[in-house]
Amino acid sequence: MQNPSDLFQQRLREVANYYQQGDVTLGYRRLMDAALDTNDTNIFNAVTAHTEWIETTNPTDAENWVKSTLLLEKISLAGLKTQKQSGEDILLAQGVKKTYANGVFSLGPVDVSLKRGELLGLVGENGNGKTTLLRILAQELRNDEGTIAYYLPKNNSQYDLRSQLAYIPQRTPKWYGPLKDNLKFTLACYAVKGEANESLVLMLIARMGLWKYRNLDWNQLSSGYKMRFELARTFLRRPDILLLDEPLANLDVLAQQTILEDLKTLSNSLSSPMAVILSSQQLYEVEKVSDKVLFLKNGQPLWQNNTAEHDETEQEERPTGLIVEFETEASRDELQSALSGLLLEKISFNGGSYIVHFDTPTSMPQLLTALGNAGINVIYIRNISKSTRRFFVSQ
Amino acid sequence: MIKKLHKDLLENYPLLWNLRLPGIFGTLAIFHLIHFLVGYSMYSGEESMRWHNPEGMYFSTSFCLFSMIGSSVIFILWFIRVFRNNAFKSFYPIGNGKLFQEFMVFFVVCLLNITCYYSYTFGFVFHARNNTNNSENKKDIEVYNSVIAFLQNNKDAYRLEGRCYPDPFPLTKRYNENVRYAPSDQVPKSDYYFVSRDGRKFSSAEVDVLTGGVEYSYLNNCNFYSMYIHNESDRYSSNSEQENEHYKTRLVTTLNNPEELKANMAAFIKLCDKHNISYQLEVDDWFKWVYNPPYFPVNYLIFHKYYYPGQYPTPNLSDASVIQASLQLNPKSYFVEVSKLQNILQSTQRAYDYSFELAPFLGFLYAALFMSIMIFTFRATARRTWMIALIGSALICLIIGALTAVLAFGGGKDGILYFYLLVILSFILIHFISIRKTVSGVSLIWFVWSLPYAFVILLGLLENNFDKDYFQTYFLVCLLIYLMALRFFIVPRFRAWQAMPEN
């Protein structure tokens, strides 16, 4: 495992690369992530001043880069201040079962293991037990069977345990009063006081892209920004385990991507990494950022994989070949003809897109070559061999 | 400055910021100041003392209603602002100490909110003291007390039954067994007799010898306790009998000293002039009617209010013989506004005697405790749980009431009190054994609500005849025990309950 300080320096170099390649917005977000890892009030103040400068002057990329370089140097000098180590076990749930009193629905048995810094995607259709499992893991709901062990620093009482778990329900409760005051109050309750309080709150407001909105009221925010403020508040709490129920619901595609990316990077924080469990129906997006994916169907864990290590632990028959989903204007016969040279197993059409199954050793490059050679115009294509998507399309 | 205070509190003292402490304390300070000023302005010289008793005037004016409305509005607005943030329910790291501090803030705010009465009364008393002279008022009271026995406008005050000296008086009138009911004035003297306190019997004729046959005499006036103006210590340390004994001695002394009597009457007339009391009375006439030794018969009653021409005497003055006699003697109608003078002197004295009394304050403490418990349980539990507890408590009261009625037939007071204690303890037992969060929460709330009553029940079991001092000490000790129980037992239970998973 790489040394955190080396990793920190490597991230700073990545920031510089983003700027140099013109990805200024991404670069600035990563710069702020690195600034957060310093836990240095002076750095926070410098970053928020920089944000204010960007928001008020709208500088060119070159001007921005010049100033950002200075900031990067300061961040590099301040260095990483590690509070928690990623990779350590944080949650182990075994054989968790829950049956509701009316007996209509039953969850489990489900096993979940999670390390600090990992992100677990919980996917499945509505009514399949995602919220129930999340609430059980958040200690909001009592499980009938099974054990749940939390390896957390403060575990004296149930209240202490729950203060280290942050559960964000699908419908976030309304905030009252100025948004910034709410964030400052949260942080003050966690004993971050005085100037450090103000600096960190502004820093996180800047990081979450909420600078323009910090003085608004809750009712003036869109759903996406409400969720981002809620996430900002949760990150200020620095929980050990963050559980989010459908955070992407009612958000546009861009907002979904931003929030997922924020979740990924902040959970991977070098100074205080946290474990994240996220439920959603946005399969592709969730799979893209998750270290692990758990697919629930009728309360049962149908499929679970570790996308980071490509270590599948399937409970259904494992697909061995290539499965591809794509959209094209070509007819089924044209498609059949173009792919005839490959080890085609079956083609199915769900009204919008084709799902094509190939036997091994057919690969994605071979498929693309065949489609290109046949002159077939592809609108959209995705390899779903290892995606939970294949369970949805196979129905 | 307000912004800076807001920022400092928010960043450094989140609990104080959340509870809007400077805001509510500032508002309540202003509210109390307003009450003080209104109370201060209510004193407008002697006229205000005529109508108002300093201790009770707050409740007798319409300002009391405005005060209650204002108090409620302040409280509700504060309540709304406080409930905007709840760190405890959000599972921020709030310890038992912080939670208890919240309760104490609720308690203090509730107490300040309901005690504006004191500011109002202090305002009035303060102004009254600054505009009157205590020693002068005491002298005026002396003058008033020295002649009030000769100014009663109720003939019954001078009846023989009221006489208490010399021996064998006081005597109790008894009717012979064969006497049928009739107005006492119409019963023949042969049909009743008198009995002294030591059981000696006296016939009407024997009593006539002792009294010279005078039924209405100034010497009989031994029960004028209510007309006298007492000082603060008399009101609480003496009983009316001791008081009467004291005034009776003075009465006899005065009647045996005509010069002093006349001088007192003259001083009283001057007192009326000084306080703008309406009267139609002349010292010489008054002295002439009163000073008729040795039996001092009452021949004339003096009105206590204005006498308007053509106005007939009030019924209690219409004793035919007395009125006729007096009218023959004095064709003019005499009057003195005695009650006005009494109110002025008495209220002025009360303004000086007024001091903080623990007993009524305990009532305010109890009310504040009740209110703060309600708020605290609302804040520390779920809204639904609290509402169920509130509605359910009515049902519980009905059931307990019915069972009390059953117990009342079968057992004594102790049985009922033990039953109440059992009910209260069962709440905490249910809280511990129930795995359903709502049931556990409701029983916890009921326990917290009913615990103060447990002390009252224990008081009933321990002491049958408790006096004021015992009650005050007991109450304060119980309050302390309750707060300790809250800090070290109940608050941790609320914390545990909040973290409890639902079923």
Looking at chain A, the whole-number percentage of residues with pLDDT higher than 90 is: 32
Query: Is residue A370 within 8 angstroms of chain B, CB to CB?
Result: no
Beta bridge partners of B174: B193
Looking at chain A, the whole-number percentage of residues with pLDDT higher than 70 is: 93
Q: Which residues of B touch A188 (CB under 8 A)?
A: 10-14, 17
Q: In which band, very low, low, confident or very high, does the pLDDT at A138 lie, cut at 50, 70 and 90?
A: very high
In the predicted model, what is the mean pLDDT of residues A15-32? 89
Query: Among residues 35-94 of chain A, which lie with CB inside 8 Å of chain B?
Result: none
Q: Lowest mean pLDDT: which of A4-18, A205-219, A297-311?
A: A297-311
Task: Give the C-alpha separation, A304 to A386, whole Å.
Answer: 10
For the cut 80, the answer to whether the pLDDT of residue B460 exceeds it is no
For the cut 60, the answer to whether the pLDDT of residue B230 exceeds it is yes
Query: Between A142, A163, A176, which is nearest B501 by CB?
Result: A142
Task: Tell me the average pLDDT of chain B.
Answer: 82
Residue B333 has a pLDDT of: 67
* ipTM reported for the complex, 2 dp: 0.83
Query: Is residue A97 within 8 angstroms of chain B, CB to CB?
Result: no
Q: Is B395 left (phi over 0), alpha (psi -120 to 50) or beta?
A: alpha
In this structure, is the dihedral angle defined by the CA atoms of residues B425, B426, B429 and B430, taken in order, positive or negative? negative
Q: In which band, very low, low, confident or very high, does the pLDDT at A314 lie, cut at 50, 70 and 90?
A: very low
Query: Between A139, A140, A185, which is nearest B18 by CB?
Result: A185
Query: Is residue A140 within 8 angstroms of chain B, CB to CB?
Result: yes
Task: Tell me the average pLDDT of chain A.
Answer: 85
Between A203 and B190, whose confidence is greater? A203
Q: Lowest mean pLDDT: which of A129-143, A199-213, B405-419?
A: B405-419
Q: In which band, very low, low, confident or very high, does the pLDDT at A320 lie, cut at 50, 70 and 90?
A: low
Minimal Cα–Cα distance from B23 to chain A, Å?
Answer: 15
Residue A365 Cα distances to A322, A325, A332, A359, angstroms = 11, 15, 21, 14
Task: Give the C-alpha separation, A290 to A386, whole Å.
Answer: 13
Burial label for B315, CB within 10 Å (0-12, 13-18, 19+), is: exposed
Query: Between B92, B435, B496, which is nearest A186 by CB?
Result: B92
Q: In which band, very low, low, confident or very high, does the pLDDT at B55 lie, cut at 50, 70 and 90?
A: confident
For the cut 90, the answer to whether the pLDDT of residue A44 exceeds it is yes
- Cis check for the bond before A365: say yes or no (omega within 30 of 0): no
Binary contact (A186, B93; C-beta < 8 A): no
In the predicted model, what is the mean pLDDT of residues B369-396? 93
Minimal Cα–Cα distance from B366 to chain A, Å?
Answer: 31
Query: Is residue A302 within 8 angstroms of chain B, CB to CB?
Result: no
For the cut 50, the answer to whether the pLDDT of residue A315 exceeds it is no
Q: Lowest mean pLDDT: which of A37-41, B50-54, B124-128, B433-437?
A: B50-54
Q: Lowest mean pLDDT: which of A130-139, B393-402, B403-412, B475-484?
A: B403-412
Phi, psi of A77 (to 5 degrees): -70, -40
pLDDT tens, position by position, A326-378: 888 888 888 888 888 888 888 888 777 888 888 878 888 888 988 888 888 88
Residue B289 has a pLDDT of: 81
DSSP assignment of A16-51 equals: HHHHHTT-HHHHHHHHHHHHHHHT-HHHHHHHHHHH
pLDDT tens, position by position, A56-80: 998 888 888 888 899 999 999 988 8
The 3-state secondary structure of A215-257 reads CCCHHHCCHHHHHHHHHHHHHHHCCCEEEEECCCCCCCHHHHH
Binary contact (B85, A176; C-beta < 8 A): yes
Residue B242 has a pLDDT of: 67
Contact residues for A379 (Cβ-Cβ < 8 A; gap 6+): A326, A327, A328, A329
pTM summary value:
0.81
Q: Which residues of B touch A189 (CB under 8 A)?
A: 14, 87, 92-94
pLDDT tens, position by position, B363-373: 899 899 999 99
Residue A316 has a pLDDT of: 46
For the cut 90, the answer to whether the pLDDT of residue B270 exceeds it is yes
Picking from A163, A168, A174, A189 by the largest number of B CB atoms within 10 A of its own CB, the best residue to mutate is A189
In the predicted model, what is the mean pLDDT of residues A11-29? 89
For B382-435, where are the alpha helices, taking DSSP H only?
383-410, 413-433
Residue B317 has a pLDDT of: 41
For the cut 60, the answer to whether the pLDDT of residue B452 exceeds it is yes
Q: Closest-CA residue in chain B for A181? A: B10
Q: Which residues of A touch B17 (CB under 8 A)?
A: 185, 188
In the predicted model, what is the mean pLDDT of residues B425-435? 85
pLDDT tens, position by position, B276-334: 888 888 888 888 888 888 888 887 777 776 555 545 444 344 454 554 455 454 545 67
Picking from A133, A152, A159 by the largest number of B CB atoms within 10 A of its own CB, the best residue to mutate is A159
Q: In which band, very low, low, confident or very high, does the pLDDT at A36 lie, cut at 50, 70 and 90?
A: very high
Q: Lowest mean pLDDT: which of A33-37, A78-82, B91-95, B409-413?
A: B409-413
For the cut 70, the answer to whether the pLDDT of residue A380 exceeds it is yes
Q: In which band, very low, low, confident or very high, does the pLDDT at B455 lie, cut at 50, 70 and 90?
A: confident
Q: In which band, very low, low, confident or very high, does the pLDDT at B99 lie, cut at 50, 70 and 90?
A: very high
Residue A278 has a pLDDT of: 92
In the predicted model, what is the mean pLDDT of residues B88-112? 93
Query: Is residue A353 within 8 angstroms of chain B, CB to CB?
Result: no
Residue B233 has a pLDDT of: 53
Which tokens sit at B171? Answer: 């005597």
**Highest mean pLDDT: which of A256-260, A303-307, B489-493?**
B489-493
In the predicted model, what is the mean pLDDT of residues A374-385? 86
Which tokens sit at A80? Answer: 């990483």
Binary contact (B17, A188; C-beta < 8 A): yes
Q: Which residues of A touch B435 (CB under 8 A)?
A: 142
Pairing of strands A241-245, A165-168: parallel
Q: B96: helix, coil or strand?
A: helix
Residue A318 has a pLDDT of: 52
Q: Lowest mean pLDDT: which of A234-248, B97-111, B151-165, B356-370?
A: B151-165
Q: Which residues of B touch A140 (CB under 8 A)?
A: 501-502
Which tokens sit at B415? Answer: 């049985």
Q: Which residue has the tokens 């005839």?
A: A340
Task: Give the C-alpha separation, B218 to B289, whole Å.
Answer: 10
